[in-house]
Structure 1
Amino acid sequence: MKAWDNLSPLKFDWVLRPQQRQAGTPKVQRQDWSMHQDRSKGASQAPALPARLLKAPKVLDKPYPETADVDGDGSIYVLDNGKDVVMVQASSLAHNFLELQEAHAIPHIPELSSAAPIFRAMPNPDRLLADGDPIYSSFIDCWGDDVSGNRTKSYNKHNNMYITHRNLPCQLLQQEFHIHFISTSQHASIPEQFKALKEVCEETHRNPIKVRDGLTGETARFRIFENTGPGDNPMQSEICSHIRGSRKSNFSCQKCQIGGTNEFKHSEVGYATLFEPGLPRSKELNLQEIDKQLIKACSGVATHVEELQTATGVKCSYTQHWVDILIERARTARRENPACAVTDIQQELHEWVLQNRSDIINPFLLVDGESLICTYEENELILSRAGFDPTKDTPVKLLYTILLGTTKYVWYMTHSQWKDTQKQTFAVRLQSTETQGLSIPPIRAKYIMQYANSLIGWQLKTVSQVASGELTALLWFPAIYDMNTYIADLKVAIANVLDLFSEIDPSKIVEKVKLHLLTHIPEDVVRLGPIIGSITEGFESYNGVFRYSSISSIHLAASRDIALDLAAQEGLRHRLIGGYWPSSDSGDWVRSGPSVRDALRHNPVLRSHLGWTDHKSFEIGMYSTETTQDTWIPCVRLVAESQDICKVGSWVVATSSITNAPTIGRISEILRNESSNFSCAVLDCFKLGRSRHPAFSMPTLSRRMSEITYLIVPTKCKASGRRFIRQERVETALTEEFIEHGSDDHFIVNMHSLHNAHLVCQVIPRNLSAPTPFYEDRDQHHSKASARLQRTARTKKEQQKLAREQQKQARAQDNQAGPSEPKDTNVVAASDGEGVHMRKRKRGPGNTIITGGRLIVRDAGHLHVRMSQIDDLATKLVDMRTREKRELKF
């Protein structure tokens, strides 16, 4: 499979391939026909079915057959198999179904064929919806979460929903300009808000929205379909109607049915199941479980519902409100009508449930509409139809599961055991790391070590690229060139992470559901493409825009004020980009004037405020020169094929003009000839080592004509230099140590870098770049980890039991010794001119009591005691230390 980074459901050309007739093969034809024509030969080809229109960088290598096997009655023979697909250019499709119908060129379809029902529905029913206009299917990612409306630490909860148009290329998805506000509420939950959005989307399926194309000026129509539901793990559990939290349910995963009691998960068999995806969940299964809970609720017994929820892990927060009402109604009906049969009450409530089912069940589980899903099995593409399923279309979130999950766990387990000298050494080495090939801002090593327990996402991304990031680099692939190879590498990297966690702390596998969620990432990649396309940082960033609208509200109706303000911003963006809208007077399509449409182009500040980021496209080989009079002019930088700006000292991969093989080197000079305008880059070439580095398990580079026996001796990485510290861009008298990088003949290729990781893997041989398993016999390793976990659990239980027994013995001894002395007199005394006022901290009615030599006041009010009485009172308290407690009244 070629790169999937520009997937769009609008411009990809899949055509089913006619096959040679085989014995027993029916004469079939798949869906709507189109005539494929080889324009280079001018000859017509067999009718074909366009299964999907997508974007691809080039056509796949599978050729379309030269001829079609058509018999005398006009029937053609094809295999009724979803794998029989090839990809051709859309321009090679010469005629559509209506043209073939007019020319009487439609082949005959046998009634027994599986394609006959589809063929009888032709032409495509969507033509009636389109009414002669082009019709598009727009897929949206719907994000929802609770957000604070304040910029201060005071939490002002709002439930927000945003969407982004998933038909856009991946490089545009994360721009704030393409994040669209849908709704907000301080009271309605995310499923409640989604119900309104769902109704709007389903209405577009019956009555597509009519718009005017801003590029062509022609009218068009579009429908809206739900694509995915990105969000953090708790919100995704709510979307899937799953019990949130790994410790609140025996079944902690919203994607599969893995789990059980703690005893089972600690056992050898149960522990091993946590390292693989379990039996998958589906919205149909979750709906069945919710229906069962509603039926049980009609009986009025809450424990029956709770038992079902605990046994399956399915609990719909949206439906739970109605479950509680049904239970209370059943109980009330039984109290008010003792003579009424229980079955009659249940039947009445059950009928009410059936009548209102669409209103009392999580709307995410009731999404209508279908979409095509592309999957790979045994190197073949499988096309299937499936609608939005929240248990499958809620991709694993990289921010919370990877950066704030595995990376944060590894970082804490590492730095928490360091001494101060080790922390200082790490900070010096981290600050001296070369960041040119890393997708990170300048490193602030001292800050990272000072606030090591409070790092946020982008700081943990820095740690993952310089410390522990083999899995992270794979997950940040923006394009996948070989799906089977990528999935195989991904599974090995995930297995290594889980196995190492079980080696360090076996309990983490049971307690941290984020670790188990890693096993579902390959499924998400196969279903949705590169997982980086589903990151939610763009939505998180848009929360800043929401907060500015929130603090501008007068807060009498905060949600309404925010919605009107952000809707006005949406309208402004529509006008600035040249969009049309129907005139309120005449109904004609109108748009803003040329000056308004050009405002974005000429005003970079406005573009920045609206979240639009310019993507500069460079011509490969472009250069920037220095001012000189020499024949060969030295240049400052050049543009690589990957659109990277390369300077002198940058590491690059070039294609040799002699052998056409990739060559790895470091740019020494960039030159341009003044007379011929010829440009070139002078490389200091290096060669890859035959094996990986023994400590880092990464490829090595050595200068040519240089032999290597070992690499990177740890004692050489010392802080050998000192430099002045700059504060606020001013050099101070303070100094700091740093590592002076000398010119070396040997280097290590950092395979943890996120920048161009997918391209680096195309250059490095598989034996040097593919993840290698840490444990050959994983089953044996899991058994040992389970045994250690069971021993730890038994020891913990014994310690808890011993602590309970000790507490019980201590309480028994206290009861035998008699009541103990109070530790707090609850008396506050202050002097004035007449005497001493003793005020009791009010805790309830009672009297003043002397016990154990201390004064306790149990009633409210003031106690007036003159100064002359203090000595007598103190003497009485001492004398009464051994007496029984009695009341003292003033």
Structure 2
Amino acid sequence: MRECGTPNVPSFFALRKKQASLMCDVGLKSRHHVSALGNHFHMNHPIDLIAMDWSNPFVREFIHVYPEITTTISEFWQAGKYVDEVELDDLSPMWADWKNAPDQHFFIKELAQLKNGQYVVPMRWIVYQKAEHVEALYATRDQAGNFLIADPELVQIPVKELKYNYLDLQVQFGSINFLNLSPSLALEMPHPVRKIANNRPVFVLRIMLWADDVSGNRSKQYNAHMNLYVANVNLPHQKLAQEYFVRFCSTSPHASSSEQFEGLCEDLNSESWRPTYDCALKREILFKIRGHLLPADNPQQAESCSNAGVNANFWCCADTSGGTDKERETDDGYHALFEVGIPRTPEETIKTIKQQIWTACLGVKETVEKIQTDTGVKDKTAIHWIDQLIEKARQMQHDRLFTEAIRDPRLNNRSIKGPNREAIKMQIKHEIQKELYDWVITQPEDRFERLANNSSEQAELRAGDHYNILLRVHGLDPHHDSPCEILHTVLLGVDKYLWHETNKVWDKKKDDLFGIRLQSSSIDGLTLYPLRAQYLVQYKNSLVGKHFKILQQLAIFHLHDDLCTKAVFDLWKANGELGAMIWYPEIKDMDIYLADLEILVNNLLDLWAVVDPSRIQKKYKLHVLPHIKEDIHRFGPAVLFSTEVFECWNTVFRLCSVLSNHQAPSHDIAVALADMERFKHQVSGGWWKNKNGDYIQAGEKIRNFLVGNKELQRRLGWVDTTNLKPGTIKLPPKDKQHPVAWSAALAHLWTAETDHIGGNGQKWVECKYVISRSFDVCKAKSWVFFNSKESENSPISIIAGRIFKVLASDSAMGLPIIIIEHSDISKTNDMRLNMPVLSRSGRISFVEPQDVLFLFNAQHDCQTSCCSTTEVSVKQGRDQTTRKHHLITHAEDTRYIINMHALHNANLIRETLPRELTAPKPYFADRRGKHDEFAAKLRVTGPTKRAETQAKAQATRAKNKKGKEAQRLQAEEATTQAGSS
């Protein structure tokens, strides 16, 4: 800046000093933690990060504080866990009419009065039919002045009917007593939080916790860090899908996620209320946070659930399904892999962990490992103590049982033999076991010393200190709150397995053939990156999630009989149908959706068993799929708990790591990203408390900087979606507008009958696109569903068609017109693809922009039309070369297939099409019978394969042993020769 002549440029030292001062003002500070295992790390606590959401105008307007009861599920607060499972005291406890009576606060479990004079006890605040309601119990007042619960059933009442709160009634009646309260209904009036709040509003937010191992390098050399991020689930998915709303908490190359979660859980388990400024209410509020779910990849979920992982006999984090290979080959064992098993519980897991620690005090590692094998429970924190206990137990047993000088005196008596001597040894072992167990309870010593003298934790193993803290987080069950995550389970799991199963038999010629076909696909309506089909087949074993999204949606159209078997083709169909339904952004009817989803999951697993029965037995990610039904019921559409945005945000972390001095990564990265949060908050117009105790925000020019700077928006991961308005059109630049007459604009579609629509002397400009009702950018040749009327009095019908042109009149009075060519939808699906067929009808419609409903993807039916290939020149950069490559040339354009595997607008397509075209059908009528057949085959092939594997392993060990022996002899010979010389 100085070189450019900018005056008054501060020094780098002054800049850093000012940044530190602003960090102090905002109150965001990275805190130092030492884990139970002795690892050090720094954390930006989520309670401090989420506090800024309330005072950030870019975030606050989108926060939903109450659960919503609705039939259409698209957000966390509308789904089963938030609506049906969260305890009343873990929801926002109060409500007020912020416009008319902001200081009259109504709390749950306090008496209130309606405008009609009836008394109620609010129990929960909800949103119903887009309006705030209260779920309450009716109460009555007897002649003696006491109150009674009139009806134990909750009723929904609009909050606008509330008139007097508890304080108002207390002034009126003096004292308020209830006579018929049941033990399950504890009313403490006034509400305890009312006293703490001191007339400040009080809310509860819930967060999503994410952890994963991430490389701190941009190169291929892996530099392992364990990262923790959080997101505010009270924000809509449209916002959570942006990197701006991801909150970094901590990283460490040493501390595991279990250790870092302990620091984070201080906020989740805290009963204290955090003050912050609410920029919408223009006042200070109190809030606290609670954990809601733990999306992650499968290895991380195993650690979060204290599970032994995908290679264990009992591999599932959520249930107890599994067993040995022989057990999985039985009829019952094999069938169980297709279903959800007996649920795991934190209580049982903790009990098993404590049993392992108690057993480790005997010093027999094999016994501990057997418990882990038999249960699938393996806790990373507990393993730290188990290893120490086994070593200590062995040493103490050696000293007290076998070292003659210091062993138990009774063992020096030679006359004690046989069972009596063994009984003494066993007694000594149990004494050692008790000593070691008492010792481990006092570990870590510094933490044990900080316990209160009368604390019950002084006599037991403690969460965080001895085992996974997540097993004891209030309102969070890691076994059932770790949902089936679609990026790692579907894209990088099922899709990856299927792609490998398909291409493993291909040669170079078939690779090229598939690449040519795939490159010819239409991606309009798919929201995909431009296809690089040759890259996909050239690096077919190194693909990432975005590549599998392409294959999941498009591969089925190009896998003809020359590229795969019928069984594999059917598996691709089942995979695509399931994938489209899993990526629903909203669910209109949860019961129908879950019933369809169950059929599609069953079909996919059954077809995998047809292709390879052992795949179900070996691949854990296939077993996880049946759990997704319950996960979606509890948390909402699966896209809500996809971790793609967190994986994308790893780039930000990686840059911080690369640009640090690598001396104290946990501290330096936490401080750097805390400063980024501070900058993001202030440049977004967020409020903070100054030294005088007043809440302030940055000046107007600073606040407007982010809004007007697209580059800064991109770097902060913030996307402004307000510029997309349904029904608007986009004109080309002035110098590219070429107005033409109506007949010229319609070209071959012009007829004398259509001339009256626009042939009145106006000139027409061809536009770039129109925005549909679903906010899609629809261009010429885009396939859309639109509203159409045959006549003025006829009903509106929804029709499929292809946009011919988007036209705008050069007259200020003229309205834009969308010209759409109709297509008829077949009454039955294509037999091969199980997708509806589009055929040109010859009719056209002239519709207004607001009549365009949504975009969809359609693919040309190349196999039926016998399309051929043609050579085209290859461009390298901007240069046209003499090199050639092949593309598909469509023979005719009258027959297209609606892509039912497309993820974009998959829900809208199925809502629009007749149910008979979209309803899934079971692949097997008798699933259990087919599973028994597959199990019978495995009982034949399984032992053979295991014997071959064992023989191969023995041969490898023998070869390695022989090689080591040869090396030893050579070394001895060399030593002998050197000595003789």
TM tier, smaller: 0.7 to 0.9
Q: Identify the match of residue 785 of structure 1 among 924, 934, 940.
A: 934
Describe the SS at the equivalent of 2:358.
helix
Q: CA deviation at 1:231?
A: 1.4
CA contact (8 A) 1:241 1:286 kept: yes
Match of 1:289 in 2: 352
User: C-alpha distance in 2, partners of 1:782/1:46?
Assistant: 59
Structure 2 counterparts to residues 63-74 of structure 1, below 5 A: none
Q: Are 1:591 and 2:711 matched, yes or no?
A: no
User: C-alpha distance in 2, partners of 1:804/1:842?
Assistant: 24
User: C-alpha distance in 2, partners of 1:236/1:666?
Assistant: 45
Deviations 1:258-280 (A, max 9, x none): 01121110111110000000001
User: C-alpha distance in 1, partners of 2:813/2:699?
Assistant: 47
CA contact (8 A) 1:14 1:50 kept: no
Match of 1:201 in 2: 268
Letter matched to residue 590 of structure 2:
M
Structure 2 counterparts to residues 626-705 of structure 1, below 5 A: 627=737, 628=739, 631=762, 633-636=764-767, 637-657=769-789, 658-672=794-808, 674=811, 676-704=813-841
Residues 642 and 108 of structure 1, relative CA distance in 2, 3 Å threshold: farther
Match of 1:2 in 2: 71
Q: CA deviation at 1:843?
A: 5.8
User: C-alpha distance in 1, partners of 2:230/2:952?
Assistant: 53
User: C-alpha distance in 2, partners of 1:36/1:784?
Assistant: 65
Deviations 1:44-66 (A, max 9, x none): 77736352435x77469x9999x
Describe the SS at the equivalent of 2:300.
helix
User: C-alpha distance in 2, partners of 1:787/1:14?
Assistant: 45
Count of residues paired in the alignment? 776
CA contact (8 A) 1:8 1:168 kept: no
Match of 1:437 in 2: 525
Residues 310 and 634 of structure 1, relative CA distance in 2, 3 Å threshold: same
Residues 223 and 486 of structure 1, relative CA distance in 2, 3 Å threshold: same
User: C-alpha distance in 2, partners of 1:341/1:363?
Assistant: 31
User: C-alpha distance in 2, partners of 1:860/1:611?
Assistant: 69
Match of 1:379 in 2: none
Q: CA deviation at 1:587?
A: 3.6
Question: What is the TM-score of this pair, normalised by structure 2?
Answer: 0.73
Letter matched to residue 362 of structure 1:
Y
Letter matched to residue 688 of structure 1:
I
CA contact (8 A) 2:110 2:188 kept: no
Q: Are 1:765 and 2:914 matched, yes or no?
A: yes
Q: CA deviation at 1:90?
A: 4.8
Q: CA deviation at 1:122?
A: 3.6
Residues 256 and 825 of structure 1, relative CA distance in 2, 3 Å threshold: closer
CA contact (8 A) 2:208 2:295 kept: yes
Describe the SS at the equivalent of 1:393.
coil
User: C-alpha distance in 2, partners of 1:472/1:547?
Assistant: 31
Moved more, 750-759 or 68-77: 68-77
Residues 782 and 558 of structure 1, relative CA distance in 2, 3 Å threshold: same
Match of 1:361 in 2: 466
Match of 2:612 in 1: 505
Letter matched to residue 454 of structure 1:
S
Match of 2:419 in 1: none
CA contact (8 A) 1:13 1:90 kept: no
Structure 2 counterparts to residues 72-471 of structure 1, below 5 A: 77-78=150-151, 80=153, 90-91=159-160, 93-99=162-168, 102=171, 111=180, 113=182, 117-118=185-186, 120-203=187-270, 205-206=271-272, 208-246=273-311, 249-337=312-400, 338-339=407-408, 341-352=428-439, 353=441, 354-369=459-474, 387-467=475-555, 468=572, 469-471=576-578
Deviations 1:62-92 (A, max 9, x none): 9999x98979777564454xxx665x76555
Q: Identify the match of residue 624 of structure 1 among 727, 730, 741.
A: 730
Q: Identify the match of residue 566 of structure 1 among 640, 656, 673.
A: 673
Question: What is the TM-score of this pair, normalised by structure 1?
Answer: 0.80
Residues 63 and 696 of structure 1, relative CA distance in 2, 3 Å threshold: farther
Deviations 1:89-131 (A, max 9, x none): 655555544445555699986526465x32x224433323323
Q: Identify the match of residue 609 of structure 1 among 706, 712, 715.
A: 715
Describe the SS at the equivalent of 1:140.
strand
Letter matched to residue 224 of structure 2:
K
Residues 611 and 773 of structure 1, relative CA distance in 2, 3 Å threshold: same
Q: CA deviation at 1:756?
A: 0.8
Moved more, 772-781 or 613-622: 613-622
Letter matched to residue 624 of structure 1:
K
Residues 634 and 188 of structure 1, relative CA distance in 2, 3 Å threshold: same
User: C-alpha distance in 1, partners of 2:828/2:378?
Assistant: 52
User: C-alpha distance in 2, partners of 1:742/1:516?
Assistant: 43
Q: Are 1:579 and 2:686 matched, yes or no?
A: yes
Match of 2:568 in 1: none
- TM-align CA RMSD: 3.6
CA contact (8 A) 1:145 1:190 kept: yes
Structure of greater relative contact order (alpha carbons < 8 Å, 6+ residues apart): 2
Residues 113 and 441 of structure 1, relative CA distance in 2, 3 Å threshold: same
CA contact (8 A) 2:579 2:903 kept: yes
User: C-alpha distance in 2, partners of 1:824/1:793?
Assistant: 34
Deviations 1:547-580 (A, max 9, x none): 2221222223232222222222122112212223
User: C-alpha distance in 2, partners of 1:159/1:144?
Assistant: 7
Residues 802 and 324 of structure 1, relative CA distance in 2, 3 Å threshold: closer
Deviations 1:216-271 (A, max 9, x none): 4311121021121221111110010000222xx21011110001121110111110
User: C-alpha distance in 2, partners of 1:105/1:444?
Assistant: 76
Residues 640 and 659 of structure 1, relative CA distance in 2, 3 Å threshold: same
Residues 861 and 298 of structure 1, relative CA distance in 2, 3 Å threshold: closer
Residues 333 and 4 of structure 1, relative CA distance in 2, 3 Å threshold: same
Deviations 1:592-646 (A, max 9, x none): 2222222211222122122222223433221234642752634422221101121
Letter matched to residue 534 of structure 2:
K
Residues 672 and 47 of structure 1, relative CA distance in 2, 3 Å threshold: farther
Residues 129 and 442 of structure 1, relative CA distance in 2, 3 Å threshold: same
Describe the SS at the equivalent of 1:49.
strand
Residues 556 and 215 of structure 1, relative CA distance in 2, 3 Å threshold: same
User: C-alpha distance in 2, partners of 1:75/1:112?
Assistant: 8
Deviations 1:833-876 (A, max 9, x none): xxxxxxxx9964x44xxxxxxxxx444749xxxxxxxxxxxxxx
Q: CA deviation at 1:350?
A: 3.5
Residues 603 and 125 of structure 1, relative CA distance in 2, 3 Å threshold: same
CA contact (8 A) 1:9 1:53 kept: no
User: C-alpha distance in 2, partners of 1:589/1:215?
Assistant: 13
Q: Identify the match of residue 733 of structure 1 among 876, 882, 905.
A: 882
Q: Are 1:756 and 2:819 matched, yes or no?
A: no
Q: CA deviation at 1:701?
A: 2.4
User: C-alpha distance in 2, partners of 1:85/1:53?
Assistant: 12
Match of 2:57 in 1: none
Q: CA deviation at 1:514?
A: 0.4
Residues 795 and 573 of structure 1, relative CA distance in 2, 3 Å threshold: same
Select the structure that is richer in helix: 2
Describe the SS at the equivalent of 1:360.
coil
Q: Are 1:51 and 2:124 matched, yes or no?
A: yes
CA contact (8 A) 1:843 1:859 kept: no
For structure 1, the 5+ residue unaligned runs are: 16-28, 38-42, 370-386, 812-819, 827-840, 848-856, 863-888
